[in-house]
């Protein structure tokens, strides 16, 4: 069963999500799914993962962070990693209050920027008991991710206007982003946060990821405590949906791996 819901973040801003509740007897655990930069809750790889978790008995929540890409409040140009961390806490608060969810046993999944968010957030919240990072962009300030490359290429423009620009192939739109986003982003030392994680953590990364190199996941993996797991997906791109995932072959491979991780550790 899927239901559109909404809740407020710490600033009183509206966040819109889809809550998945299993028809069969629930297992008593909740999982929050986080999209990446320019992402939104309706992306195919997130929808299919949420449904897989639902069918396995989990209560799952996918939601739009406060930006204009999805249905939640906000403008993409104003986004900040700090604000997304606060949005994530609000999402965890929401799912923790749901019927048939043990508020002390919540799982987190994040894709790309969402992967960095869940790794960074997890040590701050004792309710989090298992984590999965998907193609996570955990290492910042090195200029190696596609997002950082775009920001650094436009340093001159950003210095003059306060903005840099990105293009979305999905919406065919050019978006402006305040350079404050990048400044705030690189202030967050996610590797240091990873060292503090005390719960089971699994990282998955495609070997054909052209947006975030697999070295990002390998670096974080070395910092994690056991139990941990790093899975390299042969042939997988940064985002497995649409033309990048013919026949949904990567979704069919990745979703069961994620579900089984939470079955084992939540």
Q: How confident is the model at residue 91 (pLDDT cuts 50, 70, 90)?
A: very high
Instruction: Tell me the pTM.
Output: 0.94
Q: What is the pLDDT of residue 169?
A: 76
- Mean residue pLDDT of the chain comes to 94
Starting at the earlier edge strand, list the strands of the sheet with 228-233.
2-8, 14-20, 59-63, 30-34, 106-111, 128-134, 201-206, 228-233
Q: How confident is the model at residue 168 (pLDDT cuts 50, 70, 90)?
A: confident
Q: What is the pLDDT of residue 143?
A: 76
Kindly tell me if the per-residue pLDDT of 24 is higher than 80: no
Q: What is the pLDDT of residues 186-241, one digit of tens each?
A: 999 999 999 999 999 999 999 999 999 999 999 999 999 999 999 999 999 999 99
Q: What is the pLDDT of residues 5-15, one digit of tens each?
A: 999 999 999 99
Q: What is the pLDDT of residue 174?
A: 85
Q: What is the pLDDT of residue 141?
A: 81
Kindly tell me if the per-residue pLDDT of 27 is higher than 80: no
**Domains of the chain, CATH where assigned:** 2-140+190-265 (3.40.50.1820)
Please give the Cα distance from 264 to 266 (Å, whole number). 6
Pairing assessment for the beta strands 2-8 and 14-20 based on DSSP bridges: antiparallel
Please give the Cα distance from 252 to 218 (Å, whole number). 23
Kindly tell me if the per-residue pLDDT of 184 is higher than 80: yes
Q: What is the pLDDT of residues 52-88, one digit of tens each?
A: 999 999 999 999 999 878 999 988 889 999 999 999 9
Q: What is the pLDDT of residue 264?
A: 97
């Amino acid at each position: 069963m899927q239901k559109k819901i909404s809740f407020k973040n710490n600033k009183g801003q509206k966040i819109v999500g889809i809550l998945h509740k299993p028809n069969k007897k629930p297992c008593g655990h909740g999982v929050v799914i986080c999209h990446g930069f320019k992402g939104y809750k309706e992306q195919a790889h997130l929808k299919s993962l949420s449904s897989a978790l639902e069918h396995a008995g989990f209560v799952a929540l996918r939601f739009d962070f406060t930006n204009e890409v999805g249905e939640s409040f906000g403008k993409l140009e104003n986004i900040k990693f700090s604000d997304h961390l606060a949005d994530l806490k609000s999402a965890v608060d929401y799912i923790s209050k749901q019927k048939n969810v043990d508020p002390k046993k919540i799982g987190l999944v994040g894709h790309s920027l969402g992967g960095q968010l869940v790794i960074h957030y997890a040590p701050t919240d004792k309710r989090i008991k298992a984590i999965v990072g998907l193609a996570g962009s955990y290492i910042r300030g090195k200029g190696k991710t596609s997002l950082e490359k775009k920001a650094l290429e436009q340093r001159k423009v950003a210095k003059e206007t306060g903005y840099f620009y990105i293009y979305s192939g999905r919406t065919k739109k050019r978006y402006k982003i305040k350079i404050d986003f990048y400044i705030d982003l690189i202030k967050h030392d996610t590797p240091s946060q990873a060292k503090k994680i005390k719960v089971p953590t699994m990282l998955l990364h495609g070997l054909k990821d052209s947006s975030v190199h697999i070295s990002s996941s390998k670096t974080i993996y070395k910092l994690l405590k056991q139990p941990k797991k790093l899975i390299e997906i042969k042939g997988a791109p940064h985002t497995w949906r649409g033309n990048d995932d013919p026949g949904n072959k990567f979704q069919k491979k990745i979703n069961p791996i994620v579900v089984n991780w939470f079955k084992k550790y939540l």
